[in-house]
Structure 1
């Protein structure tokens, strides 16, 4: 049995096991899925994993091979209404955790990037937790915010927290994701949006490592209140004591003590029992281009991780950015088949399961080197996702394609040195009128 078949069987076996206890994942345990119909719990879960960005009717016709007895849109919606979105979240964690032994590591540590991305959903001014009024006379828009942990070596999503965009709090989400993490030793990597003492402390309490970019010394960030070398580049160790007290001792030694105001969140301090918290940091500043510098705060030991190595590790963080591109556009996370928030949550977790399914298969495909080629080549991950999605959707009675062969022959050249300016433009939800017809 090849690897792709093993991965598919593992995913489907988890769904089958959930089906045998489906009352745990439905709204009305005594009634929902109690009678045999075209849509079983197993079938609807599998179908939702394979959905693309097409109209719902097209999705149904293709999944049922254009059979005359293809269920209607209404029948599908009535069935999905019975399933809790937590069922798909449970499937995501069960499937992802089942491959924990395959996780790659860097010097015995998992490289876990944390970041967030906005998801545009259907226009609904009544939902005050997701609605934004862009201009006084404008239509406005609704968004959710997806916070994720992403394994940079294994290329899979490990955990996620979905927040209404009006209640977005990336710092809180990362702290919660750190607290929930139960894996082996990890290095948590993040960009400047996560410059926060509370995050550093959560990682320190977890006994893990962090590597977070912070604002440069000339900006209004953490480093502005810390005495640092006057050289352009440096690598120094600093020990500070955080406190919410404002005693004379604290005021007299601003180099040692850092005051945390009541408006700032820090989970390990109060004014009674835990008055002080010691934090050990390593601060690194290095050149990126001529006249441009970046600053990193980490707790990685200098004897095991040099400054150049820290620079390379932070550069790997870009993997989570490319994963968002594949998740949104190749997997189809920008296109939902409903306006209801509960349905949208179902589809978000489904897309993340499908992404991990595709990456677990794709990462096992060995790309042979060919010295005669002009360029180095990499797998075409967008094409690989289409292949894996089809492989998951086909019925048992059909012969499966040679997934590894197909993926291994879809290549793209790697042209080093190419760069394009980031194109930032406002996004909106895709209209649902043609979907619901």
Structure 2
């Protein structure tokens, strides 16, 4: 079988063609507007041109970006000034990008492209902070958390937005993404994502992956109502009494949700109703330990717990750990966006423009992400036992997408040309593949994992 048949360039071309059709639609034109009079005339920088400008932005200065953009689309004679661009980008409503992120996923799942892990999509939830340009307007708009060093707005040194996403680690794309005020809690953000993606993920078998802070009874009950499976890292104080009574390191516990507990259910009426009908919450709990040394060569031992509703008959303890390890891909995605894509380098101090900068980079990450997963699949198909495993280097892939002028074919909906571009990109697979280091673990908080109490597993950047 030829490599390009495996990479499915025709299906990817169809996906990008359909997404381009959506970008050019009247629906998106309406969503772009902050005022009714915005984007009503076909100017040199019309509504869909601005969308593509944001998505494919990768130069260090505005003038260089304008030159690159108009050269890429073969319209250099129509290049607008920096002042005209600043005027145009302030009109763009950030809501259009949240819609496009959601719709890109919806179109993707309607194709034959999605890959599964044992017939499941692995969907990870996680939050981070995104830096916003510093000025008094943004301090007021995005707010800040009070603390010993921040007593009022004049103590704020850095403006941040609380960001969060629901990310398909099996297929390399954000299904939903949000930017909120800095003090916004991760819990309501997670519920917003679950509600907004309910239709997109309808009829899909989902395993929801999340780190600590997401193992509340309300979130787990809401996942049960959605008929999602889950693997969530637990906090030591969650269901403490029931966990302490466990006789083994892998068994089910039962938690009775009483009326007092139900009053703390604030975000999901469905979860509340479910627990009223069935107050008993059953959770499979897995306990593990790992030992590590810190930067001062001091040894530590930390106890870990994981919550899941996957049965032991279908998924062994080691498989649960393997599934959870794949959650790391959302962390890699945030790092890639912040370092390689420079998502926090903004082209304006305006808060809405900063939102558009970030949302558009998420969309570019999705475009590159689905291509990357196809290339990784090809590398997996080539892999033979007792040889090194490889994955695609996302940084190099994104650079190639920019260098091959993918923008032109995408923006003008040239389906055959898009396919040719994807074929040309996949020809570089051997040059941009990187080995997966066996038994890899990521150092965090100055720690280096020394040994684990179970069979080791890989954390891949896939």
Give the TM-score band, short-chain normalised. 0.7 to 0.9
The Cα offsets for residues 165-205 of structure 1, whole Å up to 9 and x where unpaired, read as 12x21111112222332311211111112131111111112
8 Å CA contact retained: 1:104, 1:110? yes
* RMSD after superposition: 3.2
TM-score, scaled to structure 1: 0.81
Structure 2 counterpart of 1:203, from 223, 228, 232? 223
TM-score, scaled to structure 2: 0.77
CA, structure 1 residues 141+27, in 2 after alignment: closer, same or farther (shift >3 Å)?
Answer: same
| Structure 2 CA distance for aligned equivalents of residues 414 and 144 of structure 1 | 33
8 Å CA contact retained: 1:179, 1:206? no
Between 415-424 and 156-165, report the one with greater CA deviation. 415-424
1:250-269 maps to which residues of 2 (within 5 A)? 259=261, 265=266, 267=268
| Structure 1 CA distance for aligned equivalents of residues 150 and 96 of structure 2 | 38
Does 2:124 align with 1:113? Answer: yes
The Cα offsets for residues 98-125 of structure 1, whole Å up to 9 and x where unpaired, read as 1104222222221111100100111134
Between 368-377 and 386-395, report the one with greater CA deviation. 368-377
CA, structure 1 residues 44+265, in 2 after alignment: closer, same or farther (shift >3 Å)?
Answer: closer
| Structure 1 CA distance for aligned equivalents of residues 395 and 445 of structure 2 | 20
CA, structure 1 residues 2+207, in 2 after alignment: closer, same or farther (shift >3 Å)?
Answer: closer
| Structure 2 CA distance for aligned equivalents of residues 125 and 41 of structure 1 | 29
- Name the counterpart of 1:385: 398
8 Å CA contact retained: 2:249, 2:288? yes
Does 2:225 align with 1:186? Answer: no
- Name the counterpart of 1:87: 96
| Structure 2 CA distance for aligned equivalents of residues 312 and 304 of structure 1 | 14
Between 113-122 and 175-184, report the one with greater CA deviation. 175-184
Query: What SS does the corresponding residue of 1:344 show, helix, strand or coil?
Result: helix
| Structure 2 CA distance for aligned equivalents of residues 409 and 312 of structure 1 | 28
Does 2:248 align with 1:239? Answer: no
The Cα offsets for residues 68-104 of structure 1, whole Å up to 9 and x where unpaired, read as 6521111112222222111122222222211104222
CA, structure 1 residues 265+225, in 2 after alignment: closer, same or farther (shift >3 Å)?
Answer: farther
* Paired residue total: 401
8 Å CA contact retained: 2:336, 2:395? yes
- Name the counterpart of 2:320: 310
| Structure 2 CA distance for aligned equivalents of residues 319 and 34 of structure 1 | 41
The Cα offsets for residues 344-388 of structure 1, whole Å up to 9 and x where unpaired, read as 222222111111111112222223747799844322110101222
Structure 2 counterpart of 1:405, from 415, 427, 434? 427
| Structure 1 CA distance for aligned equivalents of residues 227 and 272 of structure 2 | 22
Structure 2 counterpart of 1:280, from 279, 282, 288? 282
Query: What SS does the corresponding residue of 1:355 show, helix, strand or coil?
Result: helix
- Name the counterpart of 1:140: 157
Query: What SS does the corresponding residue of 1:296 show, helix, strand or coil?
Result: strand
Between 330-339 and 366-375, report the one with greater CA deviation. 366-375
Higher Cα radius of gyration: 1
| Structure 1 CA distance for aligned equivalents of residues 253 and 246 of structure 2 | 15
Q: Give the unaligned 5+ runs of structure 1.
A: 246-258, 425-437
8 Å CA contact retained: 1:47, 1:393? no
| Structure 2 CA distance for aligned equivalents of residues 330 and 65 of structure 1 | 23
8 Å CA contact retained: 1:197, 1:266? no
Between 360-369 and 389-398, report the one with greater CA deviation. 389-398
- Name the counterpart of 1:157: 174
The Cα offsets for residues 31-84 of structure 1, whole Å up to 9 and x where unpaired, read as 323333211222221111101251111111111229465211111122222221
Structure 2 counterpart of 1:32, from 5, 15, 38? 38
| Structure 2 CA distance for aligned equivalents of residues 324 and 33 of structure 1 | 32
Greater relative contact order, per chain length (Cα 8 Å cut-off, separation 6+): 2
Q: 1:295, CA displacement in angstroms?
A: 0.6
| Structure 2 CA distance for aligned equivalents of residues 385 and 178 of structure 1 | 29
CA, structure 1 residues 14+21, in 2 after alignment: closer, same or farther (shift >3 Å)?
Answer: closer
Q: Which has the higher helix share?
A: 2
1:288-307 maps to which residues of 2 (within 5 A)? 288-289=290-291, 291-307=301-317
CA, structure 1 residues 53+222, in 2 after alignment: closer, same or farther (shift >3 Å)?
Answer: farther
- Name the counterpart of 2:298: none
| Structure 2 CA distance for aligned equivalents of residues 288 and 79 of structure 1 | 53
CA, structure 1 residues 416+51, in 2 after alignment: closer, same or farther (shift >3 Å)?
Answer: same
Q: 1:306, CA displacement in angstroms?
A: 1.8
CA, structure 1 residues 407+26, in 2 after alignment: closer, same or farther (shift >3 Å)?
Answer: farther
| Structure 2 CA distance for aligned equivalents of residues 418 and 308 of structure 1 | 16
